[in-house]
Structure 1
Amino acid sequence: MTIEQIEKFIGGGEDVKQQANIFFKTRGTVEGVFIKTADYSELKKKNFWRIVSVKHIAEFRKSNDINLSRIFNGAEFTKLSQKG
């Protein structure tokens, strides 16, 4: 997917949005939330995105520890959908 498609899905507001299903070309689906951190602009230019998986969301919301996130290449995304 392109940067523009992903950014449109994410929207411009809050740091942590509603859960999403992220479908990939070569791996299984990931459930999580996109987060905006200090390096958001730099990563976005390269079509990379920080995502906190479902199992770490509660802990992330308490601590805001970016080490709970993983960086994914947006070019590998095939589809994004809202969860719940």
Structure 2
Amino acid sequence: MTVEQIETFLAKETVPQGKIIRFEMKKRNPVRGLIVKGRDYNELKGKNFWRIVTQTHLAEYSKSQNINLAKIFSGTEFAKLSLVSNKAED
């Protein structure tokens, strides 16, 4: 996906309480989590990279706001974004 496609999704979809984003990938299993805005958000976005806190680290991130819990993913690997509930993958 392009930066514009991802930004359009983020602008259009507000992530309500209890929901997270499912990132469908082109060449690997989907990832569930949230995009976080660190100090380098605009720099990463300009290169189509996104800092994502995965579902396994969300509880810890919400307590500590530790940006080191996030991983950086390339937006070109995203095939589709969708909102899903924050529960274990079926």
TM-score (norm 1): 0.89
Match of 2:62 in 1: 61
> 5+ residue gaps in structure 1?
none
Report the count of equivalent residues: 81
What secondary structure is seen at the aligned counterpart in 2 of 1:81? strand
Match of 1:27 in 2: 28
> 5+ residue gaps in structure 2?
86-90
What secondary structure is seen at the aligned counterpart in 2 of 1:28? coil
Counterparts of 2:20 and 2:35, CA distance in 1: 8
- Deviation, 1:8, is 1.4
1:78 counterpart letter in structure 2: A
Runs of 4+ in 1 over 3 A off after TM superposition: none
**1:2-30 deviations in Å (ceiling 9; x for gaps):** 10110111229x8xx44010011111000
**Does residue 78 in structure 1 map to residue 79 in structure 2?**
yes
Report percent identity of matched pairs. 49
Q: Could you say what the CA RMSD is over the residues aligned between the two structures, in angstroms?
A: 1.6
- Deviation, 1:69, is 0.3
Counterparts of 1:5 and 1:28, CA distance in 2: 20
1:32 counterpart letter in structure 2: G
